[in-house]
Structure 1
Amino acid sequence: MSEADTPIDSTWIAANPLPVHGRGTTKNSRGRVLVIGGSRKVPGATRLTGEAALRVGAGKVQLATVETAAVPLGLMVPEAATIALPEDEQGEIGPADTALRSALEACDTVVIGPGVGTPDGAARLLDIVLDTARDDLTLVVDAMAIGCMRDVGDKVAAFGGRIVLTPHYGEMAVLCGAEEDEIAADPRSFAHDAARTYRAVVALKGSDTVIAASDGTSLHYGGGGTGLATGGSGDVLAGAIAGLLSRGATPLVATGWGVWLHGQSARRMATVSGPIGFLARQLPDEFPHLLPQ
């Protein structure tokens, strides 16, 4: 950790409170999240993201995924609405402009990328979202969609800094056109370069997580342990950040809290289940215990 980094610890958490929802709160005022992702090969990714958003307090969640997975997903997550999107021959989301337009109008935060398996598919979906930017819409870009940001830099200005990127080292390497070992050698510099380029908050995930904002702010989280190195863990983190954004947290506060909740939940699971072997889908159950009452 650089001396310029602020650790995400109890002091930071206390100094950066989340929005409070008091008497008269409705499910709409607590925030509406749209998750776009999934594929025939990875149909459950959006479940992880959507449940994480709900567990951090989002009021409503919509899960937009391939049509063959939509109904089973809706039964698995009855608290969320599902949107069946066209499916191509590869089992990926096909052209979906019409199906997504109304859903984008009815949400506060979009997550794009979990479970999407091809760069072309991710790029097509990202274009739809970026073309519908609003002053009150925030965006979390995850997984395969992160690398596609390289080709749409001219469109991100419309979001006015309301974008969060959640890459691991491999995804950051694609975004920056670098080698993965270069990212690992200097994650802080790459995170800050990307934050400035895309006017975004960047959570660069590794054994430790570096969070960089476009204004030069730098946060650091010491990691939740090796148990987080498991399939679906990143999908959960993206959902946690999105849920907090939808509730009204700023991109930096939502990202810091999301990373902290994700890591602290893993630490809690490790004390009960052991340091490895717990599942990504178990993490969101811990979030309510860690959120302020």
Structure 2
Amino acid sequence: MEHLCEEFVFSCIAPRAQESHKGSYGHLLEVAGSRRYRGAAGLAAEGALRTGAGIVTLASVEPVLAAVAARLPECCLLPCRESEEGGIHAGEADNLSQALQKATVLLMGPGMGNTAHTQSLVRRLVGEARGTVVLDADGLNAAAALMAAGEPLPRPAGSLILTPHPGEMSRLTGLTMAEIAADPAGTAVRFAAKWGCTLVLKGHRTLIAAPDGRLWQNTTGNAGLSRGGSGDVLAGMVSGLAACGLPAPEAAACAVWLHGAAADRTAKRLGQYGMLPHDILADLGEIFAEHDR
């Protein structure tokens, strides 16, 4: 097991080429949000944009798009029909599949709602993706439900990154949270190898397991991240670095370190009780600036 460090992160993240354009840094399609959870999609979209993604298109229902457009004008919007639960209707699969053809990265899950509609969309879109796919939150819950019903973990043509907390990991594996806590490193490594994915097992010392057996442990971050929305920002950051061209394991590892390092600075400014997930993005920008990125 290796410990993540600043030198490793900025050896992976290169300065932006002067002769470049928005297409040089990928096109992220984010399928996220619902009437009940309107903030998650925006936090993830901003996390991706602040981590360098060239284009971010958010596909969601109108209440989510209205909220995001008001605070994040850089985000492109793809309106989707609303299901009876207030999430994205499974009948939007064809429209989303068409949008996916232009995307280099797909992020699914933040705030979508754990519904049959979400499961149907995850099953189809993940299977059709040609680039990197990041599954978070209800994207993970949908995958776990499909696996519990006897289906394999949905697979894209490209790389797959999963970002579970221990409860989501329990649903994905069938292990109890106590069993995961007893051997988090072994659990992460075995799952990543079995399913050929990069696994981000979130916690006090988040672990990143690559499908080739590499394992990193993160030591940045603090208890101020223990609130809703922190994981959405992280999912966006992972997706943003993947859009910039980092391989899936490095995108995940670098995002986790940066997320925690920025949060440590935020805690010094605002305190662990007073800080909010969106606050860390300003500190993230400072870290990039200090490294001429």
Match of 2:267 among 259, 270, 287: 270
| Aligned 8 A contact 1:147 1:172 in 2 | no
The correspondence of residues 131-142 of structure 1 with structure 2, limited to 5 A, is 131-134=127-130, 137-142=131-136
Report the AA paired with residue 123 of structure 2: D
1:111-260, aligned counterparts within 5 Å?
Answer: 111-134=107-130, 137-150=131-144, 151=147, 152-153=151-152, 155-156=154-155, 158-160=156-158, 162-260=159-257
**Cα shift at 1:155:** 4.3
Q: Secondary structure at the match of 1:195?
A: helix
CA distance in 1, matches of 2:209, 2:175: 18
Distance in 2, Cα, partners of 1:69 & 1:223:
31
Verify: 1:282 aligned to 2:279, yes or no. yes
Deviations, residues 135-157 of structure 1 (Å, cap 9, x unaligned): xx11111012113334353642x
Hey, what's the Cα distance between the residues in 1 that align with 2:36 and 2:162? 23
CA distance in 2 between counterparts of 1:108 and 1:146 reads: 20
CA displacement at 1:122 relative to structure 2: 2.6
Q: 1:154 to 1:222 in 2, by over 3 A?
A: closer
In 2, Cα distance between the equivalents of 1:211 and 1:70? 32
- How many residues align structurally? 284
Farther off after superposition, 172-181 or 65-74: 65-74
Letter in 2 for 1:240: M
CA distance in 2, matches of 1:76, 1:288: 17
Q: Which moved more, 1:202-211 or 1:123-132?
A: 123-132
Match of 2:98 in 1: 102
Change in 2 beyond 3 A, CA 1:85/1:210: same
| Deviations 1:16-48 (CA, angstroms, capped at 9, x unpaired) | 421442122101112211111111110111100
Instruction: Indicate the SS of the match to 1:159.
Output: coil
Which residue number corresponds to residue 28 of structure 1? 23
Q: How many angstroms apart in 2 are the aligned matches of 1:149 and 1:276?
A: 33
* CA positional deviation for 1:76: 2.2
Query: Aligned partner of 1:205: which letter?
Result: K
Q: What SS does the aligned partner of 1:131 have?
A: helix
Amino acid corresponding to residue 255 of structure 1 in structure 2: A
Q: Determine what percentage of the aligned residue pairs are the same residue.
A: 34
Relative to the length of structure 1, the TM-score reads: 0.92
Give secondary structure in 1 for the equivalent of 2:200. Answer: strand
RMSD: 1.6
Where does structure 2 lack aligned partners over 5 or more consecutive residues? Answer: none
**Aligned-partner Cα distance in 2 for 1:287–1:153:** 37
1:222 deviates by 1.7
Name the amino acid aligned to 1:128.
R
CA contact 2:38–2:67 (8 Å) conserved in 1: no
**1:123-174 CA distances to partner (integer Å, 9 max, x unpaired)?**
122122223222xx11111012113334353642x434x1111000000000
Among 35, 42, 47, the alignment partner of 1:47 is 42
Normalising by structure 2, we get a TM-score of 0.92
Report SS of the residue matched to 1:281.
Answer: helix
Return the offset for 1:98.
Answer: 2.2
Aligned position for 1:13: 9
Return closer, same or farther for 1:270/1:214 CA change in 2, 3 Å cut-off.
same
Note the alpha carbon deviations across 1:161-212, whole angstroms, 9 max, x for none. x111100000000000121222122111211122112211111001110111
CA contact (8 A) 1:19 1:248 kept: no
Q: Do the aligned partners of residues 185 and 122 (structure 1) sit closer, same or farther apart at CA in structure 2, a change above 3 Å counting?
A: farther
1-structure distance, mates of 2:214, 2:42: 32
Tell me how far apart the structure 1 counterparts of residues 19 and 98 of structure 2 sit (CA, whole Å). 27
* 1:230-288 Cα deviation digits (max 9, x unpaired): 11000000000100000000111111110011000110001111123211111222222
Contact 2:100 2:129 in 1 (8 A): no
Look up the match of 2:82. 87
Contact 1:19 1:247 in 2 (8 A): no
Q: Could you tell me how far 1:79 is from its partner in structure 2?
A: 0.5
Pairwise CA distance, 1:119: 4.1
